[in-house]
Structure formats: C-alpha cells, structure tokens
Amino acid sequence: MGKIAIVYWSGTGNTEAMANLVAEGAGGSADLFTPDQFSPDQAAGYSALAFGCPSMGAEQLEEAEFEPMFESVKPSLGGKTIGLFGSYGWGDGEWMRTWAADCEDAGCSLVCEPVIACGAPEGDAADACRELGKAVGLSPKKATLAAHVLRKLGAISQQGKRGNAFLYVQATAPDTAAATGGCILEKGDT
C-alpha cells in the first residue's frame, strides 16, 4: 500500500466524519487534510487520494476553499488511485455525479463508485465509507482492475435498478488479481 491522502471540507461535521471512516477503512494509515492544508506539490507525494466535499447550494462543490484546491490538484491526479465522498441534506446526489464525471473527463480513474450520505454517515453509509478506504488502499494494479469492473457494474446498475455497486478483489498470485462484483439493490427493488 502506498501513501494515502484524504482531503475534505466539512461545514457541519458530516463529511469530516466520513473522512475519518474512510481513514479507518484504509487501515488508519492515511494522512487527513483540509483544503487549506493541501497543494498540488503535496499531491505528487501520494499514490492514492480520497476527496470529500458535501453538496452545497444548488448541488455543487463548496466554492470558497474546496473547489479551488481541487481544481489546482486535478491536473496531477492522472495515474493515481482516486476516491470521492460527501454528505448532503437535500437533492439526489447530482453534485457527486457531476464531480465524478468531471474527474473522469480529466483522466482521473476512480477506484470505486463515489460514496454519499444523507446527513451523518450511519449504517450502510458508514460501511461504504470504510469500503472506500479499503479500495483507495489497494495496490495500483488492483485499483485499476477495481475501477474497470465498477465502471461495468455502474453501467449495469443504471439500466433499471437503483443501487450501489460493490466489488471484491482478491489476490490470486503476486502479480494478478481476480475480481467479482455486483449491484446491491435498495430495499423494495426486485
């Protein structure tokens, strides 16, 4: 596992709680930063990064601190393992879909589906934060495989059922990995 940075902005403490859960999932070995503490020069020293920002205003990233920092580091994120997370209080997650699409358009490879929590991260949302931490902590080879499989699963889950994609990656030999995945449907989906 390489060095992991978790960079987050939190107005109410919900996204900060998510950041701590992501760090827990990464084995507690991640460095946590707020936007004013992180720069493109620092990004170069990390092989994996998780970014967290809540939905603000009309479902957008926080504009005063987080978005300028993220825009400044985005050009240096190619080839790195990236994860996204954030909390919201209204809306349907549009800010996260827009943010993820922007990252992919910029050449970033997301290791898994972004994690969102309505309010404080509890139950399934807390578990998803920990899983994001584990995914960000994968070796680059496994992270690339995970991102590929989850893109396929995301396309499947968007064809009808709402749900969260999940992935299980297991080393089968020192230089290979096998992956299986699926879509966890929400209660009431059949």
pLDDT score, position 153: 52
Instruction: Find the largest Cα–Cα distance for the chain.
Output: 48
Query: DSSP secondary-structure letter at 186?
Result: P
Where is pLDDT greater, at 172 or 107? Answer: 107
Question: What pLDDT, on a 0 to 100 scale, did the predictor assign at position 109?
Answer: 84
pLDDT of 151 strictly over 70: no
Q: For 14-28, write each residue's pLDDT tens digit.
A: 999 999 999 999 998
- CA dihedral (76, 15, 130, 1) positive or negative: positive
- Domain chopping of the chain, boundaries: 4-137, 139-190
134: its two tokens: 């584990």
pLDDT tens-place string over residues 90-119: 888 999 999 999 999 888 889 999 999 999
Q: What is the mean pLDDT of the chain?
A: 79
CATH number, span 4-137: 3.40.50.360
Q: Which of 28-37, 134-143, 170-179 is predicted most confidently?
A: 28-37
**DSSP tally for the chain: helices H, then strands E:** 6, 8
Q: Percent of the chain at pLDDT above 70? A: 72
The DSSP string of 44-81 is TT-SEEEEE---BTTTB--TTTHHHHHHHHGGG-TTSE
pLDDT tens for residues 136-146? 987 555 555 55
Average pLDDT over residues 173-190: 35
Which of 2-6, 69-73, 103-107, 141-145 shows the lowest per-residue confidence on average (mean pLDDT)? 141-145
Which candidate, 154, 157, 90, 121, places its Cα nearest to that of 22?
Answer: 121
> Contact 189/162 with Cβ under 8 angstroms?
yes
Give the sign of the dihedral formed by CA 133, CA 139, CA 177, CA 157.
positive
pLDDT value of position 186? 34
- What is the mean pLDDT of the segment spanning 113-134? 95
